[in-house]
Amino acid sequence: MTLREEKTTAEKVAALGGIPAKVDVEAPIISQERLTDGVYRLTAVAPSIALRAMPGQFVQVGINKSGTLLRRPLGIAAADNGTGNLSLIYRIAGKGTLALSQLKPGDSIKVLGPLGHGFTTKVQKPLLVGGGMGLSPLLYEAEYLQRHRCNAGVLMGGRTEQELFWRQLFKDYVNGIHITTDDGSLGTKGFVTTVLPEMLQDNDYDLVIACGPEIMMKNVAAICRELGIACEVSLERRMGCGLGACLSCSIDTLSGRRKVCKDGPVFPAEEVFF
């Protein structure tokens, strides 16, 4: 961040009378865009969250449906501290996300956040490794790093070319996009772990940041451990409160029992028992 940008953000926070660490707000939707089958990008106006949100953090999104507030944890795909816009990319996976996809500009959602502990942002040459919806929080990391003059590389994997619409979203923020598909329809045929060892040996990446299916993160972590490269992973667990109160997201780690919502979702890979 440049000095001028720092000042601008500080000025905005001061103008808002200071912003608490997390807030629960009603956020008007300004766009709802279909990215591919069953995957949408929703953008809402939530300046008090967008000003504070860091890459890797998440929000609890609530929809008023038949008088019930359904809350879903969603990673932050973009947070613009100029406009106050917050973008979330999600796949329809049940009643809550189906209801979310049916909302239109002019409707609003309840947003609680920003929550959790995000990715490392002070890094020289990171490689982002993602699969499926795990690429959503990595998109914000890529944009944030680029804005702070650090270009990450990205390695993304999917079953088919159609799942890798992400490459269009990342292209302005990263220094090289590497792709694998299970069926070979785009990039290298195989998994991200097919090409990762060679990529790490041929480059001087100082941190691998992985987000995606747990089996992918487990295998990425094992490769990084073997090659002596630092790695962090973003875990996904069923969540209740999202605030560290209900214990529904507790996991065992090398440093004891931790809550994914509060202590994570991002953890050093070596702390996690996969």
Contact footprint for ligand FES (CB under 6 A): 239-242, 244-249, 259, 261
Tell how strand 58-65 and strand 108-115 pair up.
antiparallel
- Least CB distance from residue 242 to ligand FES, whole Å? 5
> Given the complex with ligand FES, which of 169 and 261 has the nearer CB atom?
261
- From residue 1, alpha-carbon distances to 8, 121, 146, 241 in Å are 11, 11, 10, 33
- Least CB distance from residue 186 to ligand FES, whole Å? 36
- Least CB distance from residue 26 to ligand FES, whole Å? 22
Q: What is the C-alpha separation between 65 and 178, in angstroms, rounded?
A: 41
> Given the complex with ligand FES, which of 3 and 21 has the nearer CB atom?
21
- Least CB distance from residue 4 to ligand FES, whole Å? 38
> Given the complex with ligand FES, which of 10 and 245 has the nearer CB atom?
245
> Given the complex with ligand FES, which of 125 and 237 has the nearer CB atom?
237
- Least CB distance from residue 247 to ligand FES, whole Å? 5
- Least CB distance from residue 145 to ligand FES, whole Å? 27
Structure tokens of 120?
């490392």
> Given the complex with ligand FES, which of 93 and 245 has the nearer CB atom?
245
- Least CB distance from residue 244 to ligand FES, whole Å? 5
Contact 103, 42 (CB under 8 A): yes
> Given the complex with ligand FES, which of 60 and 193 has the nearer CB atom?
60
